[in-house]
Amino acid sequence: MTTSRRSLFAGASALAAAGLLDHLPGRAARAAERAGTLKVALLGLDTSDPHRHTGSIAVQQVYVEGLTSIADDGRAIPYLAESWRIENEGRRYVFRIREGVRFHNGRVMTAEDVKANAERVRDRIGRGWLSAPMKLVTRLEAPDARSFVMEMSEPYGPLLNLLSELWIVAPESEGWGGTIRQPIGTGPFRFTRWVPNELFRGEAHDGYWQAGLPRAEAVEFVLRDMDDPSLALRAGDLHIARARFAALPELRADPNIEIQFMKDTTWYFWSFNNRRPRPPFDRVKVREAIAYAMDKPGLMRLIAGEAGVVTNQMAAPGQFYWDEAIHAADRHAAPDLDRARAILRAEGVEPARTPLRIVSWQTDYAQAAAQAMRSLGFQVEHIALDDLGAQRRLNQYDWDLAPFASGPRADIFLRFIRMLSDGPNVGLWGGPQDPAFDALVKRAVAATDLAQRRALYLDAWRHAMDRYWTVVIGHAAEAIANRREVTGWRPGFTWGANRVDGGLAFARIG
Amino acid sequence: MRLAAPVLRQLLTAAAIGVLVFVLMRVIPGDVVDVLGIEGDLSEQEQQALRAELGLDAGWWVQFLRWVGGTLRGDLGLSLRYNRPVAEMIGYALPHTLRLAALALGLGLALGIAAAAVAAARPHGIWPLLVQALNVWSIALPTFCVGLAAILVFSLWLGWLPVRGQLLMPVLVLGIDIAGQIAKPLHEELKEILATPFIRAARAKGLGPGAIVLGHVLPNAAGVLSSVSGLILAGLISGALTMEVLFGLPGLGSLAFQAIAGRDWTVLQSVVLLFALGVIVANLLADLAHRLADPRVR
Amino acid sequence: MPEAPLPTRHVAEAVAAPAASRASPWRRPLLLLALAGLFALVGPWIAPQDPLWQDLAARNLPPQPGAWLGTDNLGRDVLSRLLAGARITVLVAGGATALALAVGAGLGLAALAAGALPAALVFGLIDMIRALPSVLLGLALMVALGTGVGPVTIAIGLSFAPTFAVVARQAWLRERQAAYVEAAVASGTHPAVILRRHIAPNVAGALITQAAIILPRAVTTESVLSFLGLGVSPETPTWGRMIAAGLPFVERAPHAVLAPVVALSLLTLVLAVAGDHIRAAADPLRRGTG
């Protein structure tokens, strides 16, 4: 080494020793008191390939991030994209990529990486919720390191929200050409270890782009489907856990536990068979009679205690896409057995001679629904199955009533998609195939003006409601409980364990 | 050479089990793509593509040969559902099950042998009654019920949280069950042995009770133990599975249950094969121990 | 036809053995079993309430007059469900045991009669099946057959059939080699008579003994399966189902779990003790091998 380099080296060492280097971006977090391993039990993890996520999405968000993040009110806010412009009436999106975001292997993320990820989802994956918008993409460009351009054949309203689930993974990740085995993301924790159905461990990413985060050394998810994580929570074996509604009273009574709620809701409904309806349940009046027999307030109390709310729409009361007038006009807000029986008589239906087949999961509220039908006098056959069995049975379309539930989503479109003619997994909603409905939803999606989109969505919903495709019982926000020594943790809009403005990166123990 | 024949026979059994399991799995309706399809909202077309990708579209004969080839090479394949090496998943689960089984067996043997020995030594105390009680307990009360009762008692009334997820309860439940299975037959055998002439001769020779127990009594007892070992092992495996599911513990039982629910053949095949091999090995070991310990059998 | 003269005392003793097993020691435990079975079958008719009726306003009530064991999370009367569940448990366990006996012994004996090679094949297969944990086997069969009382009975029955085949074979071989049978053959007694008078009763005795051992296990297996969520439909009040449904609310309504657990334990206790008596009566000289 020459003298000047040696003295530079010596000077740098001195600076480092003096701790002054700690004030450079990225080093600050390392110097901060990062302590402890967060033990969390939310949902499971089904795949190590973030683009192939299949439903349960709670864990991935700690190691991968998207261009946008969902804020507490359901809007898309900047995440890996610092800002964006929407041009050409909603057909062209120009994203400004955030600077200085490092992958877990130290490399800086650029617009090229974002483009590679979008291409992978469009070309190599072809399934999941992103496949719908990807089909509309005509061009993906990265004109410079900080600009990413998406051009669509037609405007697509939900795009920004859905992009919150297009996670950016480094293309050098092992398995990029097939199924990613070791994802290298930008999230606050790395993908350290995964034992399927048992645990996931993520250790802190020292070069995380948000200064001072994460606050914990590591996070460990318990992936096993525990019947009751609240016991482990109360014993201190877990720091954060989903709380079943049934366990809420005991948790509230425990002074060491704090309960918070997700911002979006799980919605509960029963669907009729809309693909191949069996008489007499193909008649709207008969469906209306059945709706009069359901005790919505009683059912919501059974499901969620005091945490539930009765309504008749896919959006929860207070959300942007919910409508007060439609809610107030709900004829079935309280049961009316006499009216139900009168309608059935008028329709010439004799319940005692009419079989009614119910397909459901093994939940208490499905049993309550079955009893409601029995009280009308129907010959009820109740088939309660596990996830897989129920799905297969529903797809046979030889049933009459299906009481189910569905969880929080990044965008309301992901609820409407379940009633489209070519939608994915439509069995839970009876599989209607109605071009008029499809057209209404398509127009809503294409509307760039939010008020207009809302009006069109409501039109589509009224279309579905009038035909009694599916009847909403109500909504309940999922509860997440945490020990009081965990600070800085807030649940978000959906199950995602981390977001740009909250989540596990911000959580500190003690 | 004398052991070769039974070992060979057991190996053939293991191979045949492999075929049986493989066929059984395919008989169950629904496959992993159905499971993934539900969770991932896949269309029919996408499901077909996924099946091809996972190799499920080949005839099952082909799949079986692929699996056998891989297993013999030490490659247990990838989990159909999680795309993770099966060996890794089993490697995580196996030690947990082994620990539960070993601790339960250890406790059961210690408790059972101790109870039987003391009861034989002091025939007029409460110990023979204890042996009888243990016996009735293990016959009459299934470990499932005892486990549930333990959960109720310890989490509700004594407030020792949490009962599930800990090893103590399942080990106790299984251990006491095993102790009950061996205490009574062992006690009977010990009583007979203690009454035999050669024991009286050993006492007359001046051998201390410890030497008598070690040198004469226990070797004969080994015979009894190995004759019930088959039952014990079968019960231990079943019991460990049930305890794992009941108490929410990681292990082969939970792994197998998840694999059945998720139609994950590659995982299930290996797990079941492992179980069968385990039973076979344990039986062989018990047989071996019996031959070694009991001079009459040689 | 009178039996041929029996020259030795040893053979006379051996002959006496089957005769003894036909005597009264059988009757008491069998009577006990029959009573238990009858009570269980009658259960639903003496239940005070409809075991399926939900009352959402009366959920998780503690034991009180009118609901002597309280109500569960859907407001159903626990006592009535317990009694209704008894019937199903007894039906399923009894049916499964009978099926296991019929299939297992039938298959085993048929294989033995067919000759050495078929017997070797069949029993090799049976050995393999026995090496699998029965819970897993039951589970896999359940998933294949679906839910409902029929499929559960078949699944449990099939998973226990192998042990009956083995017992049948052991009994057959033992009897065939017994001294008194050799004596009868030597004295020229017709094979059919030997079969009917000597072998068949003892094989039947061994099978009934085994059935008495398997019955409580069938009860437990049914409970474990329905606890795991397989088995009969969710409204059907089997004890395993009641336990599974009640566990999430165990702090609020412990009675809803306690009742079925205690009932299950009592039933298996009674069955096991009765089975033990039967085993002792059938064969006071042999140790139980299960």
Name the range with the highest mean pLDDT among A217-226, A284-293, B193-202, C152-161. A284-293
Identify which has the larger pLDDT, C146 or A181.
A181
pLDDT confidence band for A286 (50 / 70 / 90): very high
Residue A252: what residue type? Answer: R
Q: Which residues of B touch C224 (CB under 8 A)?
A: 144, 242
Interface of C with B (CB under 8 A): 124-125, 127-129, 131-136, 139-140, 143-144, 216-217, 220, 223-224, 227-228, 243, 247, 250-251, 254, 257-258, 261, 264-265, 268-269, 272-273, 276, 287, 289-290
The whole-number pLDDT of residue C2 equals 37
Do A320 and A468 share a domain, yes or no? yes
By the 8 A CB rule, do A196 and A223 touch? Answer: yes
Nearest CA in chain A to B155: A231
Cα–Cα distance between C220 and C261 in angstroms, integer?
11
- Tally of residues, chain A: 510
> Domain check: are A348 and A288 in the same one?
yes
pLDDT of A300 > 60? The answer is yes
Residue A16 falls within a domain, yes or no?
no
Choose the most confident range, by mean pLDDT, from A303-307, A382-386, B166-170, B226-230. A303-307
Q: Are A315 and A419 within one domain?
A: yes
Instruction: Choose from B35, B38, B80, B151 for mutation: most chain A CBs within 10 A.
Output: B38
Residue in A400, A292, A295, A289 with CA at minimum distance from that of residue A348: A289
CB-CB contact of B112 with B178 (8 Å): yes
Statement to judge: residues A286 and A317 lie in one domain: yes
How far does A129 lie from chain B, in Å, by closest CA?
8
CB B81 within 8 A of CB B87: no
Residue A212 domain-assigned (yes or no)? yes
Whether residue A280 is preceded by a cis peptide bond, meaning omega within 30 degrees of 0, is yes
pLDDT at A233: 87
Q: Touching check for B88 and chain A: CB below 8 Å?
A: yes
Beta bridge mates, A199: A195, A222
What span, in angstroms and rounded, lies between the C-alpha atoms of A94 and A449? 18
Rounded CA-CA distance B130/B142 in Å is: 18
Contacts of B24 in chain C (CB under 8 A): 140, 144
Tallying the residues shown for chain B, one arrives at 298
Domain that holds residue A387: 266-476
What is the pLDDT averaged over residues B207-225?
A: 67
Domain with residue A120: its CATH number is: 3.90.76.10
Residue A328 lies in a domain: yes
CB contact under 8 A, A367 and C74: yes
Helices C134-145 and C200-227: crossing angle in degrees, nearest 10, is 70
Nearest to A234 by CA among B149, C258, C249, B155: B155
Write out the DSSP string of A245-300: GGGHHHHHH-TTEEEEE-SS-EEEEEEE--SSPPTTTTSHHHHHHHHHH--HHHHH
> C-alpha angle A385/A390/A393, rounded to 5°?
120
Nearest to C254 among B16, B141, B156 (CB): B156
A307 and A248 Cβ atoms separated by less than 8 Å: yes
Are the Cβ atoms of A424 and B41 closer than 8 angstroms?
A: yes
Inter-chain contacts counted by CB atoms under 8 A, chains A and B? 99
Mean pLDDT of C159-175: 86
**Residue A24 belongs to a domain:** no
Which residue of A197, A224, A226 to mutate against B (max B Cβ within 10 Å)?
Answer: A197
Average of per-residue pLDDT across B161-165: 62
What pLDDT score was predicted for residue B29? Answer: 63
Q: Is the pLDDT of residue C14 over 50?
A: no
Q: What is the pLDDT of residue B213?
A: 64
pLDDT band at B220 (very low <50, low <70, confident <90, very high): low
pLDDT at A340: 96
Inter-chain CB proximity B83 and A47 less than 8 Å: yes
User: Which of C56, C245, C252 lies nearest to residue A368, judging by beta carbons?
Assistant: C56
pLDDT tens sequence across A243-271: 988 888 888 999 999 999 999 999 999 99
Cβ distance A197 to B161 less than 8 Å, yes or no, reads: no
Question: Residue A388's domain is classified under what CATH number?
Answer: 3.10.105.10
Residue in chain B lying closest to C225 (CA)? B242
Q: How far is CA C101 from CA B21, B270, C224, in A?
A: 24, 31, 21
- Contacting residues for C73 by C-beta, under 8 A, at least 6 apart: A246, A364, C59, C60, C245, C246, C248, C249, C253, C256
Radius of gyration of chain C (CA): 23
More confidently predicted of C190 and C209: C209
Q: Does one domain contain both A286 and A421?
A: yes
Within a domain: residue A288? yes
Please tell me which residue of chain C has the smallest CA distance to A381. C233
Residue C277 and residue C25 in contact, taking contact as beta carbons nearer than 8 Å? yes
Confidence of residue A454 (pLDDT cuts 50, 70, 90): very high
Is-contact C30 C271, C-beta < 8 A?
no
Contact residues, chain A, for C252 at CB < 8 Å: 249-250
**A244 to C54: CB separation less than 8 angstroms, yes or no:** no
Which pLDDT value is given to residue A21? 43
**Burial class, A158, CB count within 10 angstroms (exposed 0-12 / middle 13-18 / buried 19+):** buried
Give the max Cα distance, chain A.
102
**For residue B234, which residues of chain C lie inside 8 Å, CB to CB?**
133
For residue C273, the chain B residue with the least C-alpha distance is B140
Same domain for A448 and A490, yes or no, is no
Interface check for B51 against chain A (CB to CB < 8 A): the answer is: no
Q: Which residues of A touch B46 (CB under 8 A)?
A: 126-127
How far away is chain B from the Cα of A118, in angstroms, using its nearest Cα?
19
Q: Which position has the token pair 């066929």?
A: B23
Contact A367 C73 (CB under 8 A): no
**Among A180, A197, A219, where does a domain finish?**
A180
pLDDT of residue C31: 74
A218-222 and A37-41 as β-strands: parallel, antiparallel, unpaired? parallel
Same domain, A370 and A495: no
Q: How many domains does chain A have?
A: 3
In this complex, is the C-beta atom of B11 within 8 Å of any C-beta atom belonging to chain C?
no
For residues C181 and C198, the answer to whether their CB atoms sit within 8 Å is: yes
In three-state form (DSSP H/G/I as H, E/B as E, the rest C), the secondary structure along chain C is CCCCCCCCHHHHHHHHHHHHHCCHHHHHHHHHHHHHHHHHHHHHHHCCCCCCCCCCCCCCCCCECCECCCECCCCCEHHHHHHHHHHHHHHHHHHHHHHHHHHHHHHHHHHHHHCHHHHHHHHHHHHHHHHCCHHHHHHHHHHHHCCCHHHHHHHHHHHHHHHHHHHHHHHHHHHHHCHHHHHHHHCCCCHHHHHHHHHHHHHHHHHHHHHHHHHHHHHHHHHHHHHCCCCCCCCCCCHHHHHHHHHHHCCCCCHHHHHHHHHHHHHHHHHHHHHHHHHHHHCCCCCCCC
CA–CA distances in Å: residue A287 to residues A267, A433, B177: 20, 18, 55
pLDDT, position B41 = 52
Average pLDDT of chain A, as a whole number: 89
CB C279 within 8 A of CB C212: yes
* Structure confidence at residue A31 as a pLDDT band (50, 70, 90): very low
pLDDT at B261 over 80: no
Cα–Cα distance measured from residue B223 to residue B291, given in angstroms and rounded to the nearest whole number: 8
Q: What is the H or E stretch that residue A194 is in?
A: strand A193-195
Query: Cβ contacts (< 8 Å) between B43 and chain A: which residues?
Result: 127, 422, 424
- CB contacts of A424 in chain B (<8 Å) are 40-43
> Is the minimum CB–CB distance between C148 and chain A shorter than 8 Å?
no
Q: Is the pLDDT of residue A5 over 70?
A: no
Q: Is B117 on the interface with A (CB under 8 A)?
A: no
Task: Name the 3-class secondary structure at A422.
Answer: coil
Tell me, yes or no, whether A348 and A455 share the same domain. Answer: yes
Cα angle vertex B32, ends B26, B36, to 5°?
165
CA A82/CA A145 separation, integer angstroms: 13
- Domain for residue A389, yes or no? yes
| % of chain A beyond a pLDDT of 70 | 92
Question: Residue A20: pLDDT above 50?
Answer: no
Q: Which of B28, B36, B41 to mutate to test the interface with A (most CBs of A within 10 A)?
A: B41
Please state, in angstroms and rounded to a whole number, the distance separating the CA atoms of residues C117 and C128: 17
Q: A222 and A168 in one domain?
A: no
Instruction: Answer whether B152 sits within 8 Å of C264, measured CB to CB.
Output: no
Radius of gyration of chain B (CA): 24
Q: Check residue B199 and give its pLDDT.
A: 72
Residues A393/A383, Cβ–Cβ less than 8 Å: yes
How far from the centroid of its chain's Cα atoms is residue A304's Cα?
Answer: 19
CATH number at residue A43: 3.40.190.10
Q: How confident is the model at residue A126 (pLDDT cuts 50, 70, 90)?
A: low
Separation between Cα atoms, residue B81 and residue A183, nearest integer Å: 18
Q: What are the domain boundaries of chain C?
A: 27-47+70-289
CATH 1.10.3720.10 fits C27-47+70-289, yes or no: yes
In the numeric block, the tokens 């914990």 are attached to A216
The model's pTM is 0.82
Q: Indicate the average pLDDT of chain B.
A: 77
* A18-27, A159-168, A467-476, C266-275, range with the lowest pLDDT: A18-27
Residue A329 lies in a domain: yes
Q: Are residues A333 and A401 located together in one domain of the fold?
A: yes
Chain B residues close to A127, C-beta within 8 Å: 40-43, 46
- Contact criterion met (CB below 8 Å) for A238 and A229: yes
Considering the domain architecture, whether residues A296 and A225 belong to the same structural domain is answered as no
| Closest chain A residue by Cα to residue C249 | A246
Confidence category of residue B80, pLDDT binned at 50, 70, 90: confident
Neighbours of C (≥3 Cβ pairs closer than 8 A)?
Answer: A, B
Looking at the partner chain, which of C59, C73, C235 has a beta carbon nearest the beta carbon of A370?
C235
Band (pLDDT 50/70/90 cuts) for residue A187 is very high
Give the number of residues written for chain C.
290
| B145 vs C140, C268, C290: nearest CB | C268
**Complete DSSP assignment for A337-379:** HHHHHHHHHHTT--GGG-EEEEEE-S-HHHHHHHHHHHHTT-E
pLDDT above 90: percentage of residues in chain C = 12
The stretch C279-285 carries a mean pLDDT of 64
Contacts of A197 in chain B (CB under 8 A): 82, 254-255, 258
Interface contact C257-B152, CB threshold 8 A: yes
Q: Do A386 and C73 touch (CB under 8 A)?
A: no
Q: Is the peptide bond before A214 cis (omega within 30 degrees of 0)?
A: yes
* Domain identity same for A297 and A242: no
Q: What is the pLDDT of residues C195-253, one digit of tens each?
A: 777 777 788 888 888 888 888 888 888 888 888 777 667 778 889 889 888 887 887 88
Place B228 in a pLDDT band, splitting at 50, 70 and 90. Answer: confident
What is the mean pLDDT of the segment spanning A61-74? 95
Average pLDDT over residues B81-87: 86
In a domain, A3, yes or no: no
